Amino acid sequence: MPEPLTLVTAVTAWTADPVSLLVILVVGGWYWRAVRRVGGWPRARMIAFYGAGLGTYAIATLSSIGVYADTLFFMRAAQIILLLMVVPLGLALGAPFTLLRDTGPAAVVVRLRSLLHSPFGKVIAFPATASVLLIATPWLLYFTAWYPTVLRSPVVDELTRLLLVLIGLVYFWSRLQLDPVPRRFHHLVSVWITLVEVVGDATLGLTLWFSGHLVAADYYQALGRTWGPDLHTDQIFGAGVLWIVGDLAGLPFLGALLNRMTKEDAKQAKEIDRVLDEQEAAGEDSDRPWWENDPNLSERFKRG
């Protein structure tokens, strides 16, 4: 049982979780070496990878959130939402798979490319698949024996943390499409899916909020905690974290999607202008309808 949670302990309480430290050192070290080998890697990607990605991972597992995750329901909820939504977004914005493709051993790159274009890769990268995984995971965690097992078993706890990051990484990798993917989808698809997921987050939060069933009640009662919120209030706080923080965590993702859409539209417009300028310089018929000169529409509206 850790010390009572106060404003002071919330800032000063830290734990040296060996698995988390190892993950941070290994992944961070690999990324740094790969960036140096490639050269000219965008600074924004490095900031996202180390700051939002590994930095948030450290906060979720080593700070007071990690210290109190086995004691307070709402602290575990905060850890789950950070590992599932925030950490993977930061890692995905760092484009790690592009770095691996450009700097990894040839045998590893070949195998990953083969997996990427396999039926499994195409299914897992399909937007609906990744979204179902992201939405279903918290429900399975809270409403099965999985959650009490996580609280009681350090091994299951560590594996679950890594699994949450992996599921989130698959989700953001397939949706942002910064790294190679089997098939590209328009980003508007991701925007609409995100709006649906907001409803899913709210449903989970409200279910935990108003449910008379206390999750892992036997475990929390056995702790004999005499400080902090009671078990019911603790779960209400956790439901609010899952709902509100989960939706807030989606805002940077929407921002990243809109940024990608803007850049791709500008790139496409520039390419169309270049093709039209080349056609005009070559003296091609300027009286043709504009859509027949558009590279994206010419095939669709061919003359018979």
How does pLDDT run along the chain (304 residues), one tens digit per residue?
A: 789 999 999 999 999 999 999 999 999 999 999 999 988 899 999 999 999 999 999 999 999 999 999 999 999 999 999 999 899 999 999 999 999 988 888 888 888 888 888 888 888 878 778 888 888 899 999 999 999 999 999 999 999 999 999 999 998 888 888 888 877 766 566 665 666 666 666 788 888 888 778 999 999 999 989 999 999 999 999 998 888 877 777 777 766 667 666 766 666 666 666 666 666 677 655 555 555 555 555 555 555 4
- Residue 304: what pLDDT? 46
Do 177 and 184 meet the contact criterion of CB atoms below 8 Å apart? yes
Amino acid occupying residue 92: A
- Residue 203: what pLDDT? 80
- Residue 123: what pLDDT? 85
The 10 Å CB-count burial string (b at 16+, else e) for 141-153 is bbeeeebbebbee
What's the rounded Cα separation, in Å, for the pair 142 and 139? 5
Q: How many CB atoms lie within 10 A of CB 280?
A: 11
- Residue 197: what pLDDT? 67
What's the rounded Cα separation, in Å, for the pair 269 and 244? 38
- Look up tokens 């609010």; give the residue: 240
